């Protein structure tokens, strides 16, 4: 009887230990609930992935303690890891699904690619700074991401041998939308990227093939709020 009670107590202790969430997941969930959801992110798939992606693995040791603050952080080479809210927002407006192949311009730390990974079929990511490309590739491989390919190169040239893409996402801002990226976007595809040098705005490009719709959108002035937010090619 005593032995049976001891065994039950031991099993209960083991269950409690294994049911406890890692501290970083608790921090991630707190960040999402207090700083992401209240700002309008509603896609439950995006929120779930954000809560289970170890952002602390994508930043240098000296800033790990800030990994679950909703802020950009330095990652070396004069670059930063994006603010989690921006990652969530850009991922949400991409309107991705599990059948999509996505091109990412600007791998950086690899964090955005890691967030995309569980939500899509394949991610191809290009980084112009070799040290960052190599580091991101090592991190992603170490963490077991199987559907992310990282390349060192000029992202604005795209990845022609893997095109066309269902979605394209950019973190580095060109002065204007690169035509080659439009060419590598599937009809009906969506591209999200910041545009501009001194002043930047986030632009959503929807590649349409219906002639009537394209004409109606082309006739806009280009200066109204809709045109600024949605440049339709």
pLDDT confidence of residue 172: 81
Per-residue pLDDT for 233 more than 90?
A: no
Per-residue pLDDT for 222 more than 50?
A: no
pLDDT confidence of residue 203: 86
Quickly state the pLDDT bin for 62 (edges 50, 70, 90): very high
pLDDT tens digit string along 111-145? 999 999 999 999 999 999 999 999 999 999 999 99
| Radius of gyration of the CA atoms of the chain, in A | 21
Q: Could you give the percent of the chain with pLDDT greater than 70? A: 81
* Backbone region of residue 47 per phi and psi (left: phi > 0; alpha: psi in -120 to 50; beta: other values): alpha
Task: Say whether the peptide bond before residue 164 is cis (omega within 30 degrees of 0).
Answer: yes
pLDDT confidence of residue 9: 56
Which of 82, 109, 117, 125 does the annotation list as catalytic? 82
Query: Is 82 noted as a catalytic residue in this protein?
Result: yes
- CA atoms in the 13 A half-sphere facing the CB of 161: 2
Rounded CA separation 34/17 (Å) = 27
pLDDT confidence of residue 20: 76
**Domain boundaries 34-232, corresponding CATH code:** 3.40.50.150
Rounded CA separation 199/54 (Å) = 31
Q: Tell me the pTM.
A: 0.82
Token look-up 């800030």 returns 66
Closest C-alpha to 147, from 121, 115, 108? 121
What's the CA angle centered on 173, arms 162 and 75, to 5 degrees? Answer: 90
What is the crossing angle of helices 84-94 and 44-52, to 10°? 140
* 205 three-class SS: strand
């Amino acid at each position: 009887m005593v032995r049976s009670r001891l065994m039950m107590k031991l099993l209960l202790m083991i269950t409690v230990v294994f049911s406890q969430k890692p501290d970083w997941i608790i921090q991630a969930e707190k960040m999402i609930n207090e700083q992401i959801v209240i700002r309008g992110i509603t896609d439950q798939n995006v929120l779930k992935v954000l809560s289970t992606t170890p952002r602390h693995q994508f930043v240098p040791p000296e800033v790990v303690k800030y990994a679950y603050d909703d802020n950009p952080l330095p990652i070396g080479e004069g670059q930063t890891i994006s603010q989690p809210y921006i990652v969530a927002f850009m991922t949400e407006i991409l309107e991705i699904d599990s059948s999509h192949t996505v091109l990412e311009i600007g791998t950086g730390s690899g964090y955005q690619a890691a967030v995309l990974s569980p939500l899509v079929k394949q991610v191809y990511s290009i980084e112009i700074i070799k040290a960052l490309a190599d580091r991101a590739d090592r991190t992603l491989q170490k963490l077991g991401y199987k559907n992310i390919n990282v390349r060192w190169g000029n992202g604005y040239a795209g990845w022609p041998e893997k095109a066309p893409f269902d979605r394209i996402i950019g973190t580095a801002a060109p002065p204007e939308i690169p035509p080659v990226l439009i060419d590598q976007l599937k009809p009906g595809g969506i591209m999200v990227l910041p545009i501009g040098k001194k002043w930047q705005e986030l632009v959503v490009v929807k590649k349409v093939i219906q002639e009537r719709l394209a004409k109606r959108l082309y006739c806009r002035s280009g200066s109204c709020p809709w045109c600024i937010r949605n440049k339709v090619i």
